[in-house]
Amino acid sequence: MKKILLFICLLMCSLTIFSQKLSSDDPKAIKNYKEGIKLYENYESINAIKKFKKAIELDPKFIEAYLITAQVYSDIEMYDSSIVYYKKAINIDKDFFPNAYMIIAKLSYMTGKYSDAAIYQDLYYHHPKLSDFQKLKAELDLNLYRGALDLYNNPVPFTPINLGDNVNSIYSEYSPALTIDDSTIIFTRKIPSIDKNREQEDFFQSHKLKNGQWTKAEPLQGELNTLNNEGAHTISADGKVLYFTACNRIDGYGSCDIYRSYKKGNVWTKAENVKELNSESWDSQPTLSADGKTIYFSSARSGNMDIYESQLSNNGKWNKPTRLPNNINTAKSELTPFIHPDGKTLFFASDGHGGMGKYDIFYSKKINDTLWSDPINIGYPINTNKDDAFLFVNAKGDKAFFASEMAGSYGGYDIYMFDFPQNIITNPVTYFKGLVLDITNNKPVINAVAELISLRDGLSKVKVKTDYDGTFTLPLPTGEIYALNVSADNYLFYSEHIELLEARDSLHPFIKYIFLKPIQKNQTMVLNNILFDFDKATLKPESYIELEKLYKFLSENPNLIIEIGGHTDNIGTKEYNQILSEKRAKAVYDYLITKNINANRLKYKGYGDTMPIADNSTEEGRQLNRRTEIKILDN
């Protein structure tokens, strides 16, 4: 009824300007027209159209009959037919109902006819009967349609590939999310419920084989999937923590809340409500940063659906969520955020930033903790005149995944992949995948802590624990120098120096076996992040991260007595190398003394070039030989 009243108001406003009576003098035509109005008011749209068409047949110049027919076709979403009748009305009298130009433009935009939308909106904008306010609104819409036409005329490459029947099925699959190594995809599948009277959404997963094919998808094991719906999820970089959306649960705060589940071995724990993120409103569609320290999600707590973020505090709880700035959030809706593993590129869907129609996908770059760049439309034909959302881009930034009902699907929505435009993700992300083993028996070390620290600012970037098989995965954004530390109770810690200043992608990850040595007499460990100025015994600033690690290790093991050994390559004289290595060992000794480690627990010694661990004929070998070692003298 609201649409009917709105149309009649628009039409009558025009009639008061141009005419006080109907344009037809044919009584039979008028009778059919009025009968059609009554049918229209009673929601009998098809019968109303028949009456209006009969009126037009009786009087081909009956302009109001054309206009009301166009409106009814629009109401029942037969937009092409609606456009035809609005155009016929214009052809009879272009000034009778100026809003027809505006409506044709809008319907053309909605149906992807962007050139027509721009043409008819331009005609409306230049109509002499528009008020100043109407002209201002017309200009805004004209710019919108011209922007869509520009996107349409400059398409981005887009050739989607169905992931195949191992992932997709006769049911709908959607909301794909991948682990950072691209080895596992987790998605939502809508399946029949056990009571057969409804459907339910559950999580399924598939693993990528070496030949690029996917294994047969299986439901996630454990207590995560229930008889209720689970969906709109995000997976941590190492694939061990899953945040998702569930609605109308007993422990819920609002209509929909964000929940969390942990992977223990091969099974998932019962989901817990992440209370600090949720409100009495709709909270949904979480996306987790690769370092696990920031979460973004969509929420209706401010009235509109906006994107919020929260930081993980030191106590393991999420801080109070804050709304992203107004150049991201609009007066309309922002949904389905996805933060790329680079930590800087945010993708989201919006119907408030213009574009191709309905929801379009945009991206924005994080400038600092509070500023984001203005969103950019990801382009046509990725975006269309329909709702477009839920995009996932892999760590390398060259492949994107989405769900669609396009022709050729196995049933309902299927998951597709396509080559992603190369200009958007400028900092590819690789990963470090380690297998931590006890050096004495080659058994996995469970719950060892792997921590990645930036040597530029000393901040911990990400910290994870090894799984039941001793494995861990850490994201590695490019443009950084890292210290990797792996530690476990009753073991010497392991350190590695990783320089990732140039682009490196997920096709060339760091994969390594890491052997931890039990704390035993005569056992040694290399401190790979103790660094000195060239040809000097002056500690570089980035060394203090590893020195603090060593200090903490000695504090936690108060009975240990150690020797700090300095080693060099064979460049230079034996005497010079001996003196340099001893000075460097003493520099580490002196630091520990300043931290109040008892001097009786510490010894230092320079070995010069007498104990190489690699070939001194290569620069790589010489670099390995230039090292600081710790040896256990007594425990």
- Ranges of residues in the chain with a pLDDT under 50 are 1-10, 12-19, 503, 505, 507
Interatomic CA distance for residues 284 and 265, integer angstroms? 27
CB-based contact 400:393 (threshold 8 Å) = yes
- The reported pLDDT for the residue numbered 7 is 47
We find that the CATH architecture of domain 522-635 is 2-Layer Sandwich (3.30)
Cα dihedral sign for 574, 577, 581, 583? Answer: positive
> What DSSP letter does each residue of 113-147 carry, written as one string?
-HHHHHHHHHHHHT-TT--HHHHHHHHHHHHHHHH
Per DSSP, what are the bridge partners of residue 174? 188
Q: What is the pLDDT of residues 200-233, one digit of tens each?
A: 999 999 999 989 899 999 999 999 999 889 999 9
Interatomic CA distance for residues 307 and 348, integer angstroms? 9
DSSP SS3 for 442: coil
Interatomic CA distance for residues 340 and 429, integer angstroms? 9
CB-based contact 328:375 (threshold 8 Å) = yes
Residues 6+ apart with CB under 8 A from 135: 125
Orientation of helix 63-75 relative to helix 45-58, angle to 10°: 160
- The reported pLDDT for the residue numbered 508 is 62
Interatomic CA distance for residues 64 and 21, integer angstroms? 10
CATH 3.40.47.10 is the classification of domain 2-153: no
What is the distance of C-alpha 187 from the center of its chain? 14
Q: Which residue type occupies 438?
A: D
CB atoms within 10 A of CB 266: 11
Quick one: which H or E segment has residue 579?
helix 574-594
Q: What is the pLDDT of residues 474-497, one digit of tens each?
A: 888 777 888 999 999 999 999 988
CB-based contact 460:508 (threshold 8 Å) = no
Phi (first) and psi of residue 257, to 5 degrees? -130, 165
Domain map (residue ranges) of the chain:
2-153, 184-397, 428-518, 522-635
What is the distance of C-alpha 353 from the center of its chain? 19
Quick one: which H or E segment has residue 51?
helix 45-58
Work out the angle at residue 209's Cα, subtended by the Cα atoms of residues 208 and 214, and round it to the nearest 5 degrees.
50
**Topology of domain 184-397, per CATH?**
Neuraminidase (2.120.10)
CA nearest to 527, candidates 498, 497, 506, 490? 497
CATH 2.60.40.10 is the classification of domain 428-518: yes
Per DSSP, what are the bridge partners of residue 86? none
Question: What percentage of the chain's residues is helix, strand, coil (to nearest 5)?
Answer: 25, 30, 45
CA nearest to 609, candidates 598, 596, 622, 591? 622
Residue 472 tokens, joined:
């861990």
